[in-house]
Structure 1
Amino acid sequence: MRKVLLLCTALLAFSCGNEQPDLIVRTSIKGLKKGTVYLKKVKDTSLITIDSVVINGNSMFELKSDLESPEVFYLYLDKNDGKNDRITFFADKGVTEINTTLKNFVFDAKIKGSEQQKVLEDYQLLMSRINHRNLDLIKESFDAQKNGDSSAFIDYEKKQNNIIKSKYLQTVNFAINNSDSEVAPYLALTEIYNAKINFLDTINKSLTPKVKASKYGKELDAFIKEIKAKENK
């Protein structure tokens, strides 16, 4: 009996020791020789470190985390120069691969993993077009100020307000069109959290049951209820 108990204990310890984490982030940073890389996420409004690795010659490594539902993580690089660069990515259970370079840590990042990451990248592409329009508008305003054209500056303010409205409306439409992705409530909470409550409510009502039960789905629902409670006081 004692031998059986010892065998069961050994098997349990072995299985626990070989238990796979929910998320593995396989990373390669070309050109990195020394530094520390951190895997972080937001918990209760605070940014916390989930895992870290000290790099000393090997630029390929893995970081791990538990994961209840898809969510956003941050890969921070500390090059021991007082600067911290970070890559934002949307992870689901399984393996996420991040390949980048030391020289352009953020801009060279190629991320392969979750379906949510693909949706997030589609949104970022959409917003980049709006941001380019805004940069062109800022240049027009700067030129108008140099030339003393006050009417052009007034026109700039109107155009800028239209760009902001366009960003909000396109974000709402994007979230509704991707209501089966956890990216939808995430965008509502991070990009248009100060939008009219009916916009947020529309996104919330469009979410699939699976997304509603996710981390960001629950947070969006709680956020909307909090706003409505304040309005009804």
Structure 2
Amino acid sequence: MKKIISCIALISLLISCGKTKNGNLIVKGNIDGLQKGTLYLQKFKDTLLVSVDSIQLYGTSNFILADEIENPEIYYLTLDKKPNQKIVFFGEKGEITINSKLSKFATSAKILGSKNQTLLEEHNAMAKKFSGKQLDLIKEKFDAQKNGDTALVSKIEKEETSLIKRKYYFSTNFAVNNAKFEVAPYIALTELYYANIRLLDTVNNSLSKKVRKSKYGVELENFIQNIKKTEK
């Protein structure tokens, strides 16, 4: 009986992998604890999140998915059993390995093979510290307001403003220092959309020609131009 199940799992994997052999982006890995389910490789096309590949797993937790990619961009790995949890990663040409656990599908993912992903994780680790401090200040301000301490509220609000500025400057400098990678305009679009237009321009002007022509490079340029039009 075990041999029959193993054969079914192998056949299922081979059939599914056959659909993905022509992609220049290969995503492979293992979801520990998963024995049956469907994995989807997704990305945004315009404003819609669409599936570009999928694999049905039965008796195995290994998977291979693929897509034809022009330049690096954000992808999502979604499991039918956990539709609200998505593994978010920077896809790029070549082979990317994603290993995770079924019990902590989105939070336990380890991603290898993408330079943009490595840089994004480095940025996000520091940005998370800023966000943690911001949450602490929000709580402190709430307590001060409840106690009617207006002087302390004013002090905390100044600290909040200073913290937000430092976070913006950090993201700007990080993007500029990595302007040869597509993660730079992506960070500008996701972290600096409320920042001063000068910071967005600083990132945009630092981008290499290749990155300027990428998906997020073009989106950043359009975003900046739209802001400038509304400010006239």
- What's the TM-score bracket when you normalise by the shorter of the two chains? 0.7 to 0.9
| Deviation digits for residues 53-111 of structure 1 (CA, Å, limit 9, x no counterpart) | 2232211111111100011111112216xx52011111110111000101111221100
Aligned twin of 1:185: 185
Q: How does the TM-score come out when normalised to structure 1?
A: 0.83
Q: Secondary structure at the match of 1:223?
A: helix
1:152-171 equivalences in 2 (<5 Å): 152-171=152-171
Q: Secondary structure at the match of 1:20?
A: coil
**Cα distance, 1:136–1:226 mapped onto 2, change above 3 Å:** closer
Q: Displacement, 1:43?
A: 1.5
Q: Given the alignment of the two structures, is residue 39 of structure 1 paired with residue 59 of structure 2, yes or no? A: no
Answer yes or no: is the 8 Å Cα contact 2:21–2:66 preserved in 1. no
Q: How does the TM-score come out when normalised to structure 2?
A: 0.84
**Cα distance, 1:173–1:146 mapped onto 2, change above 3 Å:** same
**More off after superposition, 148-157 vs 162-171:** 148-157
1:117-196 equivalences in 2 (<5 Å): 117-145=117-145, 147-196=147-196
Q: Secondary structure at the match of 2:99?
A: strand
Q: Displacement, 1:178?
A: 0.9
Q: Which amino acid aligns with 2:197?
A: I
C-alpha distance in 2 between matches for 1:225 and 1:118: 30
Question: How many residues are paired up?
Answer: 214
C-alpha distance in 2 between matches for 1:144 and 1:103: 39
**Cα distance, 1:33–1:18 mapped onto 2, change above 3 Å:** closer
Q: Displacement, 1:209?
A: 1.3
Answer yes or no: is the 8 Å Cα contact 1:78–1:85 preserved in 2. no
Q: Which amino acid aligns with 1:92?
A: E
1:63-102 equivalences in 2 (<5 Å): 63-79=65-81, 83-102=83-102
C-alpha distance in 2 between matches for 1:84 and 1:54: 18
Larger radius of gyration: 1
Q: Which amino acid aligns with 2:133?
A: R
**Cα distance, 1:57–1:214 mapped onto 2, change above 3 Å:** same
Aligned twin of 1:222: 222
Q: Which amino acid aligns with 1:25?
A: V
Question: For the aligned residues, what is the CA RMSD?
Answer: 2.1
Aligned twin of 1:58: 60
Aligned twin of 2:15: none
Aligned twin of 2:12: none
Q: Alignment partner for residue 48 of structure 1, among 50, 74, 97? A: 50
Q: Which amino acid aligns with 1:84?
A: N
Q: Displacement, 1:20?
A: 3.1
Q: Displacement, 1:157?
A: 2.4
Answer yes or no: is the 8 Å Cα contact 2:20–2:65 preserved in 1. no
Answer yes or no: is the 8 Å Cα contact 1:78–1:84 preserved in 2. no
Answer yes or no: is the 8 Å Cα contact 1:31–1:103 preserved in 2. yes
C-alpha distance in 2 between matches for 1:42 and 1:18: 19
| Deviation digits for residues 151-199 of structure 1 (CA, Å, limit 9, x no counterpart) | 3333332222222222211111111111111100111112212322221
C-alpha distance in 2 between matches for 1:200 and 1:144: 35
Q: Displacement, 1:48?
A: 1.5
Q: Secondary structure at the match of 2:181?
A: coil
Any stretches of 5+ residues in structure 2 without a counterpart?
1-18
C-alpha distance in 2 between matches for 1:52 and 1:163: 42
C-alpha distance in 1 between matches for 2:97 and 2:146: 48
Q: Which amino acid aligns with 2:49?
A: L
Q: Which amino acid aligns with 1:70?
A: P
